[in-house]
Chains A and B, each alone.
Chain A
Amino acid sequence: MDKTLPSPADAVAGIADGATVMVGGFGGSGAPIELIHALIDRFLATGSPGNLTVINNNAGNGQVGIAALIAQGMVGKIICSYPRSTNSRAFIEKYQAGEIALELVPQGTLAERIRAAGAGIPAFFTPTAYGTELAEGKQIQEFEGRPYVMERWLKADVALIKAELGDRMGNLTYRMTARNFAPIMAMAAAHTIAQVSRLVAPGEIDPEAVITPGIFVDALVEVAEPAQEEALNRAEVHYP
């Protein structure tokens, strides 16, 4: 078994127009920058893929990664919990111009919807958002005297994630808080692509230390010394 691919460009070559794409990362940590930029390169060369639905906690920061994807006009919709930051101009401009749709989801509901999709659970009940405008139109049910809101699973065609170590079977570890959404996105997407900072031989990752078992990963590409989103933004890097 060998799930490795030679380059980020090869890894993202099959992502279609209109695809729903989960992208790992929270704030400036964990974003698979090289995979996202490979997608932008493909769009600039071929005009595809466009009209993507992107799922992430945020809506891009600065002028790299998801923010650059949005700035190129490749994103039709964002599903996230916190699209506003000091540095989210790319999204805010498109949003205010009516050029991008937003589905706002409480952060824990976002995580659980993704986890549920990965676990094959079509819906679940949570107290989160009960009585608020984010629960409007949703089914409410009482359990043990307390009201809960029904939320549905959130699936994706593709997940793009960043991991630390990976082997050719797809087993992954992560680096500190860069883990965030990556393990559950890997479970929820039909096709999960991981960029890993170091590719190692099967067996080199202690089975006790594997965070994402390879069954959830379809393709890996090694990106040694990957870019770090926060560091890029502090250097005011603009992609492309």
Chain B
Amino acid sequence: MTQEPTEKLSNVQIAWRAAQDIADGAYVNLGIGFPEMVARFQPEGRAAVFHSENGILGFGKAPSEGQEDWDLINAGKKAVTLNPGAAFFHHADSFAMVRGGHLDVAILGAYEVAQTGDLANWSTGPTGVPAVGGAMDLVHGAKRVAVITEHVTKKGQPKLVERCSLPLTGVGCVTRVYTSLAVVDIEEGRFVLREKLPAISFDDLQSLTGATLHCPGPVADLIVPEL
């Protein structure tokens, strides 16, 4: 297998790239952990409204240390603040926003994404204590479900695959994947390459991908600032 190139996007850079596709005024849910970084890179002049499953629309940055109010937390159980125009609601309303198709974008992490849009991101198998949270709801609710992820695992195995081998979070739900090497859309059961790092050849990228990358149109250079 081809070695992953030394030049690749960092997690913050992947988050930056994903943030460029979020429109002004969009209602957005960011998964816990890595996807939360996307909020830091909203382009100038755009303001999305961030949704937290536990019952907030319009939460803002973390408070400074010592200023936390532990009754004001996000789904990751971290203290947050409120932006002007924020709202609280109970859990069934929160997931009505999710399942009712009211969110514009959900961005999640992934263990594996299949060319069919299937996502595996909640369980690494039968060992340990299972926990699912809201991932299975989010993948069926938002108008657009995107994934941000390393292109390959720490062991160098492709994370973009023909079929997921791990337990599924949802079937046919992901429409775009932002990786450390490329931006890939999922259309009609196949991976469509939209952007790639200029430093990597198509053939090398293909060898790091577990399913065929299609190029029906131009492939742009994936250019992200140093962050």
A134 lies within 8 A of chain B by Cβ: yes
Is the CB–CB distance between A184 and B129 below 8 Å? no
Is the CB–CB distance between B99 and A104 below 8 Å? no
Known contacts A108-B137, A114-B92, A184-B92: A132-B170 contact under CB 8 Å: yes
Q: Which of B71, B118, B132, B171 contacts A29 (CB 8 A)?
A: B71
Within 8 A of B (CB), among A181-240: 181-184, 211, 228-231
Contacts of A174 in B (CB 8 A): 88
B210 lies within 8 A of chain A by Cβ: no
Alpha-carbon distance between A26 and B89 when the two chains are bound, in angstroms: 13
Q: How far is the CB of B129 from chain A (nearest CB, A)?
A: 5
Contacts of B211 in A (CB 8 A): none
Contacts of B132 in A (CB 8 A): 81-82, 104-107, 134
Contacts of B170 in A (CB 8 A): 130-132
Is the CB–CB distance between B129 and A95 below 8 Å? yes
Within 8 A of B (CB), among A104-150: 104-109, 111-112, 114-115, 126-134
Within 8 A of B (CB), among A1-35: 26-30
Is the CB–CB distance between A180 and B129 below 8 Å? no
A77 lies within 8 A of chain B by Cβ: no
Most buried by A among B56, B134, B169: B134
Q: How far is the CB of B51 from chain A (nearest CB, A)?
A: 12
Q: How far is the CB of B74 from chain A (nearest CB, A)?
A: 8
A178 lies within 8 A of chain B by Cβ: yes
Is the CB–CB distance between A84 and B131 below 8 Å? yes
Within 8 A of A (CB), among B129-180: 129-137, 140-141, 167-171
Q: How far is the CB of B32 from chain A (nearest CB, A)?
A: 10
B19 lies within 8 A of chain A by Cβ: no
Is the CB–CB distance between A228 and B70 below 8 Å? yes
Contacts of B47 in A (CB 8 A): none
Q: Which residue of A has the minimal Cβ distance to B120?
A: A132
Known contacts A30-B71, A177-B73, A231-B70: A92-B129 contact under CB 8 Å: yes
Known contacts A27-B73, A128-B140, A179-B88: A108-B134 contact under CB 8 Å: yes
Known contacts A82-B131, A104-B131, A176-B69: A184-B91 contact under CB 8 Å: yes
Which are the 4 A-B pairs with shortest beta-carbon distances? Answer: A108-B95, A108-B137, A131-B171, A27-B77
Please give 17 more A-B residue pairs, beta carbons under 8 A apart, in addition to A108-B94, A178-B71: A82-B131, A82-B132, A95-B129, A104-B131, A105-B132, A107-B53, A108-B98, A108-B137, A128-B136, A128-B137, A130-B140, A133-B167, A175-B71, A177-B72, A179-B88, A230-B73, A231-B70
Q: List 6 A-B contacts (CB under 8 A).
A: A81-B132, A85-B77, A105-B132, A176-B72, A181-B91, A228-B71
